[in-house]
Structure 1
Amino acid sequence: MSDIVIEKIVRPERTLSGTWLEVIASNLDYHRAAFLWKCEGLTDAQLRRRAIPSSDLTLLSLMRHLQGVERYWLQHRLAGTTPQYFPYLTNADTDWFDESDPTPARTVYTDYLSACADSRSLFPPHDLTRIIPNPEFGPTDVHFILTHVIEEYARHLGHADLLRESLDGTTGE
């Protein structure tokens, strides 16, 4: 068995025209794959490696965070379900994932894929005009939540770019 956690990732083509939901769903899937592409070919140890010694930011912690984004924003807030969160350790001071969590990276990867599949199964939302209560931003609609999830991915893809380059010099779009 290979030590590599994530083998070859093929990023899907994006829908450039169509309904708003088709374009958003396509872009979300593209961003999901782009994140995994940044993790492709790495071992558990590499996914856990910190680029900055004082930071808990790693590719693995980003993967844990993004499964939470999927479950909180798309499954809980948007679809109104009660998602099943994996019991990762978190740092009480920062609410970020504790890197001493011993969960193998392969398990985190499987959990991330499961979170994405669960989110896809709830798509598309039926009522785009529905107002959704949100303790962080106040009342929001479906459009806001979907664009916010893309914003989360875009922000963390930037982090993933820097983390990957610091690991082995790999760069990409």
Structure 2
Amino acid sequence: MTTARQEPAQTAGERAMLEGWLDYHRRTLAWKCEGLTDEQLRTASVPPSELSLMGLVRHMAEVERAWFRKVLVGDDPGLIYCTEEDPDGEFHLTGADTWQEAYGTWQAEITAARRIAAGFGLDDLSKGRSRFTDEPFSLRWIYTHMIEEYARHNGHADLVRERIDGATGD
């Protein structure tokens, strides 16, 4: 299977453009994980970093949940992989962790994020507030931040994947 990725139209409206780029980056992370075994996906291939492709997917599930459920609508469904004792738990994998579970959880969070965001305008403000400024966030800001978050981690995924099997690509 090859993950289909398509950049948004160059003349798309603002919302379609933001959603298009966010989906493009979501698909890029999935593409970076294609064709690998669970063991390879759990491999932290760039020591001393603990980053692995599966860990990045689990991290992005946490990020999707935090920004759309907790910040945007003020729901607190709790963390998925992280705990107070292990705040980076999404990156601490064991042999029992599977791609099927990580991917399924990530996709469920993406589905929830899309559903939640559909009820907001770009200028609508979040119920959650910045821990730094105590100001709310607009959906536009959240979309822009999510694009940045995925783009940064997709760069990490590029390096991790290349170290695993030599695969490269944009």
Quick check: 47-56 or 28-37, which moved more?
47-56
Q: Is 1:119 matched with 2:113?
A: yes
**1:22 Cα offset (Å):** 0.9
Q: Is 1:30 matched with 2:43?
A: no
Larger helix share, 1 or 2: 2
Q: How does 1:1-173 map to 2 (within 5 A)?
A: 7-83=1-77, 85-86=79-80, 88=81, 92=85, 95-97=88-90, 98-100=92-94, 102-132=96-126, 133-136=129-132, 138-139=134-135, 140-173=137-170
The code of the aligned residue for 1:171 comes to: T
Distance 1:58 1:47 in 2: 6
Deviations 1:8-66 (A, max 9, x none): 31113423223211110111111100110000111100001111232211001100000
1:90 to 1:83, Cα distance in 2 relative to 1, 3 A:
closer
1:84 to 1:121, Cα distance in 2 relative to 1, 3 A:
farther
Distance 1:93 1:112 in 2: 19
Would you say the 8 A contact 1:79–1:125 is kept in 2? no
Distance 1:32 1:71 in 2: 14
Would you say the 8 A contact 1:60–1:105 is kept in 2? yes
Share of identical aligned residues, percent?
A: 36
Distance 1:16 1:138 in 2: 35
Give the TM-score normalised by the residue count of structure 1. Answer: 0.84
Distance 1:56 1:127 in 2: 37
- 5+ residue gaps, structure 1: 1-6
Aligned length: 166
RMSD over equivalenced CA pairs, Å: 2.3
The code of the aligned residue for 2:68 comes to: L
Task: Find the residue that maps to 1:122 and give its secondary structure.
Answer: helix
Distance 1:89 1:101 in 2: 17
The code of the aligned residue for 2:43 comes to: R
- 5+ residue gaps, structure 2: none
Quick check: 151-160 or 137-146, which moved more?
137-146
1:22 to 1:83, Cα distance in 2 relative to 1, 3 A:
farther
Quick check: 140-149 or 154-163, which moved more?
140-149
Give the TM-score normalised by the residue count of structure 2. Answer: 0.85
